[in-house]
Amino acid sequence: MNRRDTLKRVLAYTAHARLQIVLSLTFAFASVALTLYLPVLTGRAVDLFVGAGKVDFAALGMILARMAIVIGLTALSQWAMSVCNNRITYRTVRDIRRDAFAHIQRLPLSYIDAHPAGDVVSRVIADVDTFADGLLMGFTQLFTGALTILGTLIFMLRIDVGVTVVVVLVTPVSLFVAAFIARRTYDMFRLQSATRGEQTALISEAVGGQKVVQAFGREEACQRQFDEINARLEKCSLRATFFSSLTNPCTRFVNSLVYAGVAIFGALAAITGGVSVGQLTCFLTYANQYTKPFNEISGVVTELQNAVACAARVFELIDEPAEAPDSADALELARADGSVELDDVEFRYLPERPLIEDLNLAAAPGSRVAIVGPTGCGKTTLINLLMRFYDVDGGSILVSGRDVREISRRSLRRSFGMVLQDTWLKSGTIRENIAMARPGATYEEIVAAAKAAHAHSFIRRMPGGYDAEIGEDGGGLSEGQKQLICIARAMLNLPPMLILDEATSSIDTRTELQIQNAFAKMMEGRTSFIVAHRLSTIENADAILVMRDGHIVETGTHRELLAKNGFYAELYNSQFAH
């Protein structure tokens, strides 16, 4: 996205604040007009000092009173303008962040899997903050600066045309310098923003996996990686800041030339009687006021380059293709009958690397289907396809006789209960985490689900019980306790189909036996897909699918597969070999 497109998007977000923009421009105009009127009063006051003992104090008092009123009104206008600008900026930032976060909820898992979480967080938080600073400075100084320049020229023309022409002739030099530097700083700020996102991603990853980092002695390696990114960030930040900082001193040099030119030609005009001393004083004040906005605008341009670069990264996130929406005539699966069929399914995460090919499966309603195989054979991928986190590249998946692509995602996913090896809990109470499966559940139903999952005993011992607060991702709980809460969540809302992906991997053997009994009751009359590495846990499955390299190489019951003495028997015997 180029700068022009980005600025158009930003302006589109400010469309809701038309009233605040009009008020801001009104107060800015009033502030500039009053500021420009003040030198006129100053010049009149100076002209009252005719000589020793020749001062009109009565007229001077009136002018001083008028100057006090003008200064007070100027301050009030600037305060009101700042209030309007803050409202415009932070409401715009609020809307951009809201849209960015809402879009994240609609992004396909393929995007989330392929992009570091820290970089996404950096776009929504750090980049939007930088954009807000630049936008606020732009609203506050850009318009007032332009008005000040225009108004000053008008006032100077009324005093003396010749001196004003000198000012105008030097002005393009300042504009050329500012534009020349601004064009070259945009790419630098964009690189700075991208590198900062890379650094945030590394920090997020390292903090989240600190136990693993320390357990394997990777502290120094992580530090080296951080230092390398940090050094690159330092280099590109210094480069961007250095070049952007050239704008102010360069324009100040040009502005000094303007002031010197006004002083010389104004003094000559005063000597020849073309202007009075008071008018010369007024002219010099205007020369300062005229050149000051160029310094401010050059600083604003620099900040806007940074802001636009950050805004472009945020809009890139918002513009990422969302998950393909459900078709207009998508079926709402009110109550699935539990039948699942895979017909010549093909899938690959990367176009050049096939994972699942010609996969066929038929699961009757109420059957228990176990999926086993070595790591990377496609077991969890099959679960992702059933839940339609990913769409198949070839073939079809049928649920209740309908292609899942014809069923709305929400109703399809509501038809599955899911307990994964990787637990996920949000910060909040234990009750809220269990009730995520069915927000309207009563306290008694939540307790019953926790008892069925054998989580009630440890929850009851916690301070606050079911209202105990837990941190992000279940901070403060053991892996086994987190998994029990996730199992309780599944038991609270029992849909027609269940997916158990190593659901008891973090639970002790004694509790696992109790959970297996609870699962057995839970699976009665429900189609269940069980992903397991411990083959002893799926001996009672109605059908066992043995996967290898994305293909089902064997199917049958536990006894049938052992009798075949094939790949399943090899896996089974390897777990019990002495």
Confidence of residue 578 (pLDDT cuts 50, 70, 90): very low
The last residue of a domain, from among 286, 319, 352: 319
**73 has pLDDT over 90:** yes
Query: From the DSSP assignment, how many helices (H) and strands (E) are in the chain?
Result: 21, 14
Residues contacting residue 134 through CB under 8 Å, at least 6 positions apart: 303, 304, 306, 307, 308, 310
Angle at 427 between CA 422 and CA 432, to 5 degrees: 90
> Could you report the per-residue pLDDT of 371-423, keeping only the tens digit for each?
888 877 778 888 888 888 888 889 999 998 888 888 888 888 888 888 877 77
Please report which confidence band the pLDDT of residue 474 belongs to, taking 50, 70 and 90 as the band edges: confident
118-145 mean pLDDT? 79
Region of 341 please: left (phi>0), alpha (psi -120 to 50) or beta: beta
Confidence of residue 69 (pLDDT cuts 50, 70, 90): very high
What token pair was written down for 458?
């440890």
DSSP string, 263-306: HHHHHHHHHTTSS-HHHHHHHHHHHHHHHHHHHHHHHHHHHHHH
Looking at the fold, whether 268 and 358 belong to one and the same domain comes out as: no
Q: Is residue 93 part of a domain?
A: yes
What average pLDDT does range 68-84 have in this prediction? Answer: 90
CATH code for the domain of 465: 3.40.50.300
Burial 185-217 (b: 16+ CB within 10 A, else e): bbebbbbbbbbbbbbbbbbbbbeeeeeebeeee
pLDDT greater than 80 at residue 182: no
In a domain, 557, yes or no: yes
Distance separating alpha carbons of residues 542 and 520, to the nearest angstrom: 12
- Strands ordered across the beta sheet of 402-403: 356-363, 340-347, 394-399, 402-403
The answer on 397 and 300 residing in a single domain is: no
Amino acid code (one letter) for 401: G
Residue with tokens 């396809």: 385
For the segment 515-521, the average pLDDT, to the nearest whole number, is: 73
Q: Tell me, yes or no, whether 475 and 420 share the same domain.
A: yes
Higher pLDDT among residues 530 and 173, named by residue: 530
Tell whether the model's pLDDT for residue 126 goes beyond 80.
Answer: yes
Q: Are residues 383 and 485 in the same domain?
A: yes
User: Closest Cα to residue 294, out of 178, 130, 143?
Assistant: 178
Q: Which two structure tokens, joined as six digits, stand for 427? A: 């910060």
Average pLDDT (120-133) is: 84
pTM summary value: 0.67
* Span 502-508, average pLDDT: 67
Inside any domain, residue 74: no
Is 35 inside a domain boundary? no
User: CATH code at 280?
Assistant: 1.20.1560.10
pLDDT higher than threshold 70 for residue 135: yes
CA distance 12 to 19: 15
Give the count of beta carbons closer than 10 Å to the beta carbon of residue 251: 23
Q: Identify the domain containing residue 550 by its residue range.
A: 340-575
Whole-number percent of the chain with pLDDT over 90: 3
* Domain count across the chain: 2
Are 287 and 364 found together in one domain?
Answer: no
Average per-residue pLDDT for the chain: 81
Based on the domain organization, do 101 and 208 belong to the same domain? yes
